C-alpha cells in the first residue's frame, strides 16, 4: 500500500459500485408488495379549494387509495415544522404560518400538494390522478419581492400582515450613521441575487414501509436522516424514534435541497401504515422544479462610506429575501445568520448595519442552496468593491488589499457577531493573481479583440463561515437543534475498522476521506476501513451534511473517538506488556513501550479487547468501540480569491468563461483530488448562477422555468478548465485544522464572473448588471439600448 | 400486452410490456437493471443513456417495443465477467470524474460512443461538444473531460483490448 493518510490523492473507494451501475439510490429500492404514490399538485399559484371530487380517481384501475389534506388532518398529523426561529427588531417572534403536508383550504404555490393517489403501478397512480376534479377559486397571487411588501399586495397567509415573515437587523446603526455623516464618499449599489433551482441530478424519492410489529421505515433522498426522523416522528406523524427508521442510502447530489423535511416523506410513511403496504414516490423532474426548495432570491441596497484614502468606514445594507409560500426547515436562518453575519467579508470595515426583511410570496419555499446566504453576502460585497473602485477611480486589486483584515489581526472580531480564527487574504490574493497571470491580461485582451471578441477579467476576495456550529451559539440565535456531530470508531477483533458517522455522503467521498483519517491516525489500510452512514438504525445519532461541515465537525468527532480508542488501547497494551500506560506510545498502528523494542500491533490489542483472557478486566471494560459527540467551538472560515476571464461575442452578446482560477484557504486538506473536484463543481454552479440560471415566475406566481428546457443548466461546453489551488492557514479550534471546501466554489465565483463581464463591457459605461448575464442583456448594452438598470428599492 | 424479445448485456429476454412502456422503464422495473437512471422527463439530462446495437441512445426517449430484436448494453454490461472495468470506467475512477455517481452511467455510455465515433482523434472541444446531451451537477465536467481524453488512447490503441460490446 502506498501512502493513504492525510494529504494523499487516494482514488475513491465508492467509485467501484457507482461505475458498475451498482449504486443503491432510493428509486432503486423496491419493497415486496410495494404500491406507488402520485401527487396531484396545484397548477396555479394561489387559490381557494372549494372541493375535490375523488370518486372517479378512486374507482380507476389499480387504485388503492386517494388522500387529501382532510384525511391527513383527520388522522391528527402535524404540519411540516420549521427548525429555526428568528426574532424581529422589536423582540417578537417571526410569523410562522402552518405548513400542511397536503394543502387544506388553499393552495399557495404552483406545486403545492393537493391530493395523493396510491396505486399498483406508477402509471396507474398517474392516470388516476388525472381523474381528480379540483374546484378552485383563483385568488390574486404574488411572486415579486418588492410587490409583495407594497401596500395592497395580495396576502399569502391570513394573519401575516404585509407578507412579512420577519423584520430583523444586526450591527450598530448609530455607529454606521455617524460614519456616513463624516464620510468623504458614499458609494451605493442596488443588486439582485437571482433565484435558483438546485437540481441535483437525482430527483427526490421516498419509500415508506411498515411492518407487522408496527415499526416504520422510510428510505429517503436525504442529507441528514436523523434530522428527518426527529422532525417527522416528533412533529408530523407522532411516532417515537424507536419505532421509526430512516435510511438515506446512496444519494445523487443534494446541494442543500435534500436537507429539509418534505411532505412526500411524511405522505409515503403515513400511507404505508394506513394501507399496510410499502409506498414509493419518486419525483419527476417537473416536480423537482416546483417542490424542491429553491435558493437565493434577494433584493438588496448596499452603501459603503469611505474616507479620502479609500478606507472602508461603514457599510449599510437593506435586504428583502424571499421565503416562498411556507417556511422550509431552515429557511429563516439563511438570510440572517448565514448572510448578514458575513457582511464584513475579508475587510476591516469598522461599522456595519444590516436590515433584513423576509417575505412570503406565492412561490416554492426558498431555503439553503450550496453556500446559503454566504454567496449572497460575497456577491454584494465583491460587486460593491468593484463599483467603489470604478466610482472613485481606484485600482480594484489595491482597494481590496488596502482594506483587508491584516495578517496579524487574528483572532478578528467583526462588527457582525463572528470572530474569525485564522486567515491570510494577502496570500490567497497573491497566489491567485500569479496563477491567473493577472499581469498578462492586457496581451490576452488584445488577442481576443483581434478575433472580434471583448475580453474582461474580474475577481472576488471572499470569506465564508462553515462547520455549523457551536450548539449554545446557534441556540441563542434561534436554532431549535444542536449542531454537533457524532462518530463511532469500532475496531473489530481482528483489526479492521468500521466508522459510523452522522455525516452523510452524497458525492463528497466520505467513504474515502474518512477512511484516510483512520489510516493516518490508526495505521489501518483504507481497504480495511468501512465507513457507514445514512441509517438511523446503524448510526448512534447525527446532524448530517450541509454547510461544508462533514470534515470540520464530523471529522472532528471521528478524531475524538479515535483518541478514545488509542487511550484505551494504551491501557490494554500496558497490561499486556507489563508497563505503565504513561510509557506506551502509539504510532503507525503499533503500541510500544517507550525506549524499548517491545510493541503490540493494533490487531493484537483489539483481539485482547474482545477475547479478554489476559486483560485488566477489573479496571477496563472489554471491547474497542468508542463513540464521541463533537460540538464545535466556533465556525470555520474558509476564504480565498477567485479570478475569472470572459470573452463576449460581439454578434450575440454571449459571454463565455474562458479562464477560471480559484485559490482558496480551506485549512487542512485530506485528499487534494477530492478538494479540487469539490471546488470545480462549486465554481460550475456559480458560473451557472452568474451567466445562465434563473428561476422565473410571472407576476402572479406561475412558474415559467419548470423544466430543463426552460431553465439553463451549465453543460460541458459552457465551462472551461477550472484551475484550483490552495493557500491554507489552519483552523485553530478543531483537531484536524480543516475548514471545509464544499461551498467555496459557489460562493467565490459569481461576483468574479460578473466583475469580468462588466470589465469586458468597459467601453459601454456599464456600472452594474444583474445576474444572470444573458446574451440578451449584454447584447442590449452593446447596442447602446436600454441598460438593464433597475428602479431604486421602494421605501418599505 | 404486446410481446418483446431483445438481448440485454448478452442475455436474451422475452417480456410483455405495455405499448407506452419506455425502454428505461423496462430496464429498471422489469429487468431490475437499476444502474440506468432517470434524471428528467424532457430528454435533457442523459442519465438514462444506454447502447442499442452499439450506439448511445437516451432510453427515456425510446419505447421498449422499438427495441424488438435489438442488442442493448447498459452500464452493468460494460465490465468483463471477471470484473475488469472497461477503460472508460477505469479512467473515470482514475481522474475522479464522478462524485454523487447519479449521472455517471449515462455519462460513461455516452463517452464510450463518443470515443468510438472518433477513431482519428478527439480534441477537448469535441469532447465538451459531444457531452451536450449529458448533465452533471457535481463535477463542473473538468474531470469528465480529462477522463474521456485519457480513455481515447486506451480504447483505440493496442495497450488495452477493445471492450466487449
Asked whether the beta carbons of A549 and A467 are under 8 A apart, the reply is yes
Domain around B61: 3-77
Find, among A347, A11, A321, A382, the residue nearest to A166 by Cα: A321
Q: Which residue of A has its CA nearest to B80?
A: A20
Find, among B87, B145, B79, B134, the residue nearest to B112 by Cα: B87
- End residue of a domain, out of B77, B103, B123: B77
The beta-strand segments (E) located in A54-163 are 63-68, 106-107, 113-119, 133-138
Longest CA–CA separation in chain B, Å:
48
- Pair B110, B44 in one domain: no
Report whether pLDDT(A789) > 80: no
SS3 label, residue A65: strand
Which DSSP helix (H) or strand (E) runs through A499? strand A497-501
- Nearest-angstrom CA–CA distance, A501 and A515: 11
Contacts of B37 in chain A (CB under 8 A): 25, 27, 201-202, 252
First to last CA, chain A: 64
ipTM: 0.96
- Nearest-angstrom CA–CA distance, A684 and A624: 44
- Pair B98, B53 in one domain: no
Report whether pLDDT(B152) > 70: yes
In a domain, B163, yes or no: no
- Pair B24, B72 in one domain: yes
Read off the pLDDT of each residue in A126-155 and give the average, rounded to a whole number.
Answer: 97
- Nearest-angstrom CA–CA distance, A385 and A391: 10
The structural domains of chain A, with segments of one domain joined by +, span 31-139+201-253+258-291, 295-468+634-782, 484-630
**The pLDDT of residue B159:** 52
From the candidate CATH numbers 3.30.365.10, 3.40.630.190, 3.40.50.2300, 1.10.3210.10, the one assigned to the domain spanning A295-468+634-782: 3.30.365.10
- Nearest-angstrom CA–CA distance, A106 and A393: 54
- End residue of a domain, out of B16, B47, B77: B77
Report whether pLDDT(A411) > 50: yes
- Nearest-angstrom CA–CA distance, A100 and A111: 13
Find, among A407, A338, A382, A357, the residue nearest to A148 by Cα: A357
- Pair B59, B8 in one domain: yes
- Pair B7, B72 in one domain: yes
Structural domain count of chain B: 2
Asked whether the beta carbons of A744 and A435 are under 8 A apart, the reply is no
Burial of A483 (0-12, 13-18, 19+ CB in 10 A): buried
Report whether pLDDT(A791) > 70: no
- Reported as a single tens digit per residue, the pLDDT across A214-246 is 999 999 999 999 999 999 999 999 999 999 999
Report whether pLDDT(B158) > 90: no
Find, among A659, A663, A220, A254, the residue nearest to A432 by Cα: A663
- Pair B151, B99 in one domain: yes
| Intrachain domains A295-468+634-782 and A484-630 with the same fold | yes
- Pair B51, B7 in one domain: yes
**The pLDDT of residue B44:** 97
Kindly report which listed range (A123-132, A394-403, A775-784) carries the lowest average pLDDT score.
A775-784
- Reported as a single tens digit per residue, the pLDDT across A367-402 is 999 999 999 999 999 999 999 999 999 999 999 999
Q: Percentages helix, strand, coil for chain A, rounded to the nearest 5? A: 30, 25, 45
Nine-digit cell at A710?
426552460
- Nearest-angstrom CA–CA distance, A656 and A448: 12
- Nearest-angstrom CA–CA distance, A304 and A312: 7
- End residue of a domain, out of B49, B77, B105: B77
In a domain, B165, yes or no: no
Contacts of B137 in chain A (CB under 8 A): 199-201, 253, 255, 681, 685, 713
Question: CATH code at B104?
Answer: 1.10.150.120
B137 CB neighbour count, 10 Å cutoff: 28
**The pLDDT of residue B157:** 86
**CA of A202, closest CA in chain B: separation in Å?**
6
Question: CATH code at B7?
Answer: 3.10.20.30
- Reported as a single tens digit per residue, the pLDDT across A701-716 is 999 999 999 999 999 9
CB contacts < 8 A, A to B, total 173
Cβ-defined contact of A255 to B137 (cutoff 8 Å):
yes
In a domain, B26, yes or no: yes
In a domain, B13, yes or no: yes
From the candidate CATH numbers 3.40.50.620, 3.30.365.10, 3.65.10.10, 3.30.930.10, the one assigned to the domain spanning A484-630: 3.30.365.10
- Pair B142, B112 in one domain: yes
Contacts of A18 in chain B (CB under 8 A): 98, 101, 104
From the candidate CATH numbers 3.40.50.720, 3.40.30.10, 3.90.1170.50, 3.30.420.10, the one assigned to the domain spanning A31-139+201-253+258-291: 3.90.1170.50
Asked whether the beta carbons of A667 and A639 are under 8 A apart, the reply is no
DSSP A550-613: IIIIIIHHHHHHHHHHHHHHHHHHHHHTTS-GGGEEEETTEEEETTSS-EEEHHHHHHHHHSTT
Contacts of B1 (CB under 8 A, 6+ apart): B16, B17, B18, B19
SS3 label, residue A420: strand
Q: What is the CA radius of gyration of chain B?
A: 16
Select the residue of B89, B131, B135 nearest A19 (Cβ to Cβ): B89
Cβ-defined contact of B134 to A717 (cutoff 8 Å):
no
Read off the pLDDT of each residue in B101-110 and give the average, rounded to a whole number.
Answer: 98
In a domain, B62, yes or no: yes
Arithmetic mean of pLDDT over chain A: 96
**The pLDDT of residue A785:** 59
Select the residue of B39, B89, B94 nearest A201 (Cβ to Cβ): B39
In a domain, B126, yes or no: yes
Mode of pairing for the β-strands spanning A655-665 and A722-726 = parallel
- Nearest-angstrom CA–CA distance, A696 and A694: 6
Amino acid at each position: 500500500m502506498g501512502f493513504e493518510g492525510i494529504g494523499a490523492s487516494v482514488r475513491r473507494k465508492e467509485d467501484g459500485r457507482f461505475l458498475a451501475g451498482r449504486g443503491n439510490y432510493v428509486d432503486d429500492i423496491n419493497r415486496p408488495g410495494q404500491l406507488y404514490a402520485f401527487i396531484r399538485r396545484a397548477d396555479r399559484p394561489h387559490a381557494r379549494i372549494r372541493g375535490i371530487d375523488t370518486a372517479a380517481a378512486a374507482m380507476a384501475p389499480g387504485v388503492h387509495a386517494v388522500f387529501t389534506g382532510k384525511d391527513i388532518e383527520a388522522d391528527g398529523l402535524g404540519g411540516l415544522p420549521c427548525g429555526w426561529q428568528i426574532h424581529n427588531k422589536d423582540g417578537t417572534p417571526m410569523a410562522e404560518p402552518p405548513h400542511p403536508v397536503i394543502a387544506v383550504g388553499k393552495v399557495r404555490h404552483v406545486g403545492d400538494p393537493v391530493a395523493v393517489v396510491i396505486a399498483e403501478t406508477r402509471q396507474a397512480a398517474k392516470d388516476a390522478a388525472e381523474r381528480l376534479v379540483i374546484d378552485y377559486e383563483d385568488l390574486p397571487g404574488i411572486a415579486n419581492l418588492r410587490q409583495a411588501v407594497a401596500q395592497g399586495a395580495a396576502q399569502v397567509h391570513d394573519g401575516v400582515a404585509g407578507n412579512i415573515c420577519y423584520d430583523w437587523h444586526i450591527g450598530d446603526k448609530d455607529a454606521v450613521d455617524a460614519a456616513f455623516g463624516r464620510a468623504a464618499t458614499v458609494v451605493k449599489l442596488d443588486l439582485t441575487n437571482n433565484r435558483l433551482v438546485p437540481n441535483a441530478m437525482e430527483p427526490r424519492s421516498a419509500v415508506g414501509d411498515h411492518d407487522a410489529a408496527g415499526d416504520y421505515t422510510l428510505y429517503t433522498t436525504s442529507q441528514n436522516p436523523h434530522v428527518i426522523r426527529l422532525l417527522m416522528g416528533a412533529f408530523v406523524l407522532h411516532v417515537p424514534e424507536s419505532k421509526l427508521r430512516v435510511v438515506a442510502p446512496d444519494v445523487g447530489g443534494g446541494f442543500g435541497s435534500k436537507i429539509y423535511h418534505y411532505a412526500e416523506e411524511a405522505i409515503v410513511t403515513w400511507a404505508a401504515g394506513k394501507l399496510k403496504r410499502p409506498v414509493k414516490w419518486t419525483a419527476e423532474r417537473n416536480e423537482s422544479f416546483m417542490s424542491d426548495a429553491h435558493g437565493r432570491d434577494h433584493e438588496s441596497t448596499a452603501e459603503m462610506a469611505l474616507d479620502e484614502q479609500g478606507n472602508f468606514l461603514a457599510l449599510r445594507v437593506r435586504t428583502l429575501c424571499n421565503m416562498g409560500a411556507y417556511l422550509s426547515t431552515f429557511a429563516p436562518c439563511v438570510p440572517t445568520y448565514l448572510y448578514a453575519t458575513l457582511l464584513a467579508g475579508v475587510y476591516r470595515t469598522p461599522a456595519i448595519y444590516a436590515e433584513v426583511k423576509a417575505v412570503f410570496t406565492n412561490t416554492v419555499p426558498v431555503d439553503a442552496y450550496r453556500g446559503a446566504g454566504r454567496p449572497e453576502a460575497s456577491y454584494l460585497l465583491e460587486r460593491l468593491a468593484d463599483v467603489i473602485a470604478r466610482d472613485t477611480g481606484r485600482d480594484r486589486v489595491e482597494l481590496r488589499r488596502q482594506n483587508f483584515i491584516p495578517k496579524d489581526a487574528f483572532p478578528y472580531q467583526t462588527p457582525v457577531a463572528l470572530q474569525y480564527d485564522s486567515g491570510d487574504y494577502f496570500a490567497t490574493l497573491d497566489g491567485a493573481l500569479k496563477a491567473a497571470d493577472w499581469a498578462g491580461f492586457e496581451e490576452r485582451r488584445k488577442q481576443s479583440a483581434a478575433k472580434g471578441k471583448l475580453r474582461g477579467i474580474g475577481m472576488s476576495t471572499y470569506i465564508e463561515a462553515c462547520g455549523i456550529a457551536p450548539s449554545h451559539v446557534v441556540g441563542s440565535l434561534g436554532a431549535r437543534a444542536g449542531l454537533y456531530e457524532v462518530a463511532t470508531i469500532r475496531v473489530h477483533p481482528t483489526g479492521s475498522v468500521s466508522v459510523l458517522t452522522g455525516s452523510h455522503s452524497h458525492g463528497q467521498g466520505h467513504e474515502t476521506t474518512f477512511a484516510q483519517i483512520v489510516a493516518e491516525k490508526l495505521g489501518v489500510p483504507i481497504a480495511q476501513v468501512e465507513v457507514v452512514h445514512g441509517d438511523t438504525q446503524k448510526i448512534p445519532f447525527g446532524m448530517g451534511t450541509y454547510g461544508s461541515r462533514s470534515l470540520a465537525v464530523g471529522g472532528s468527532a471521528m478524531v475524538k473517538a479515535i483518541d478514545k480508542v488509542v487511550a484505551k488501547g494504551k491501557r490494554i497494551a500496558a497490561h499486556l506488556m507489563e508497563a505503565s500506560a504513561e510509557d506506551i506510545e502509539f504510532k503507525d498502528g503499533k503500541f510500544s513501550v517507550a525506549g524499548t523494542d517491545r510493541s503490540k500491533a493494533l490487531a493484537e490489542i483489539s483481539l485482547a479487547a474482545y477475547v479478554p483472557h489476559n486483560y485488566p478486566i477489573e479496571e477496563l471494560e472489554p471491547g474497542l468501540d468508542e463513540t464521541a459527540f463533537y460540538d464545535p467551538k466556533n465556525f470555520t472560515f474558509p476564504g480565498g480569491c477567485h479570478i475569472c476571464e470572459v470573452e463576449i461575442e460581439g454578434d450575440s452578446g454571449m459571454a463565455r468563461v474562458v479562464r477560471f482560477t480559484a485559490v482558496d484557504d480551506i485549512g487542512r486538506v485530506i485528499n487534494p483530488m477530492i478538494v479540487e473536484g469539490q471546488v470545480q463543481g462549486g465554481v460550475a454552479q456559480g458560473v451557472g448562477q452568474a451567466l445562465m440560471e434563473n428561476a422565473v415566475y410571472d407576476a402572479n406566481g406561475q412558474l415559467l422555468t419548470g423544466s430543463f428546457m426552460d431553465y439553463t443548466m451549465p453543460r460541458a461546453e459552457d465551462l472551461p478548465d477550472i484551475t484550483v489551488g490552495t493557500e491554507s492557514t489552519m483552523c485553530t479550534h478543531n483537531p484536524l485544522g480543516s475548514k471545509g471546501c464544499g461551498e467555496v466554489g459557489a460562493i467565490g465565483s459569481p461576483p468574479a464572473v460578473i466583475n469580468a463581464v462588466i470589465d469586458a463591457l468597459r467601453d459601454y459605461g456599464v456600472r452594474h448588471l444583474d445576474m444572470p448575464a444573458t446574451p440578451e442583456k449584454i447584447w442590449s448594452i452593446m447596442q447602446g439600448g436600454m441598460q438593464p438598470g433597475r428602479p431604486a428599492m421602494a421605501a418599505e | 400486452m404486446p410481446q418483446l424479445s431483445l438481448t440485454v448485456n448478452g442475455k436474451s429476454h422475452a417480456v410483455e410490456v405495455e405499448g407506452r412502456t419506455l425502454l428505461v422503464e423496462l430496464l429498471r422495473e422489469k429487468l431490475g437493471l437499476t444502474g440506468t437512471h432517470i434524471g428528467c422527463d424532457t430528454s435533457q439530462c442523459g442519465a438514462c443513456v444506454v447502447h442499442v446495437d452499439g450506439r448511445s441512445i437516451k432510453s427515456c426517449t425510446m419505447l421498449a417495443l422499438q427495441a424488438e430484436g435489438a442488442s442493448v448494453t447498459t452500464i452493468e454490461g460494460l465490465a468483463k465477467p471477471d470484473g475488469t472495468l472497461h477503460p472508460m470506467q477505469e479512467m473515470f475512477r482514475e481522474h475522479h470524474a464522478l462524485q454523487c455517481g447519479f449521472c455517471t452511467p449515462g455519462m460513461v455510455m455516452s463517452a464510450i460512443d463518443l470515443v468510438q465515433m472518433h477513431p482519428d482523434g478527439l480534441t477537448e472541444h469535441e469532447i465538451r461538444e459531444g457531452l451536450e446531451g449529458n448533465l452533471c451537477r457535481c463535477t463542473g465536467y473538468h474531470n469528465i473531460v480529462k477522463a474521456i481524453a485519457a480513455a481515447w488512447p486506451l480504447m483505440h490503441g493496442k495497450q488495452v483490448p477493445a471492450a466487449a460490446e
